[in-house]
Amino acid sequence: MTPQERKAHSEKLIAEKGISILPSLPMTEDASEVKLRSLDEVCKRAVAALLSTQIAIELNDDHTEDAGRFVNLMKYFGVDDVLNTKESRLLNGTASKQDVLDVVWEYECCWSLFWALGLVEDISDASGICDCIQSIRFVSQVESYEDFKSRCTLRSTDEILDMLDLYYRFHWAVVQHEHIDPKCSVGDLNGEVVFERRRGLEWLICDTADWHDISLDT
């Protein structure tokens, strides 16, 4: 799709969901202008983030000892060297409570990556949280990192831009509703889910290493 076609398609889907639209909201990039991250990069980020969410959950519940087995799994999968700043603080014991909560929410970023890797069929419904149990299975039911990677096929740049454009417009409606105009309709969108899934999708096409550093302006 061209950026214009993508915008029109997203707005049609959004209108069908009863969500407000801003016609002047910019279009996303043309596929020819985007460099998608490699399959290996996306697979490593997905596994590292998923295991990080498990560590964060254990720490949030004060199960520090249980968190240790997920640290070991990171080393086993060979992804302990691709952690972002918040994830690294979890492992070295310097994470704040906010860091822990932020990493727990990475579940939704992971869901975007699992979709991009062809493991999840569709993520266009942002009314509720992802299937956390299925997310865990994607990693727990493989023998090794290479086994996980062999099960993945990266979607095309066009597919990823289509979904990102949709989430960009979802996010505008959520921000407008929550901070500017309560009358702006968001249908059944879950704002936190929209925000985090967009973060994961944006990471796929940008050169910012740490997805917590990506600007998510609307």
Among 12, 23, 21, 6, which Cα is nearest to 174's? 21
Each residue of 91-121: pLDDT tens digit?
A: 988 999 999 999 999 999 999 999 999 999 9
Contacts of 185 (CB under 8 A, 6+ apart): 18, 19, 20, 173, 177
Structure tokens at 126: 């942002």
For the entire predicted model, the pTM comes to 0.95
Residue 145: burial class (beta carbons within 10 Å; 0-12, 13-18, 19+) = middle
Residues of the chain with pLDDT under 50: none
Q: What is the pLDDT of residue 69?
A: 86
d(CA 110, CA 116) in angstroms, rounded, equals 10
Q: What is the pLDDT of residue 67?
A: 79
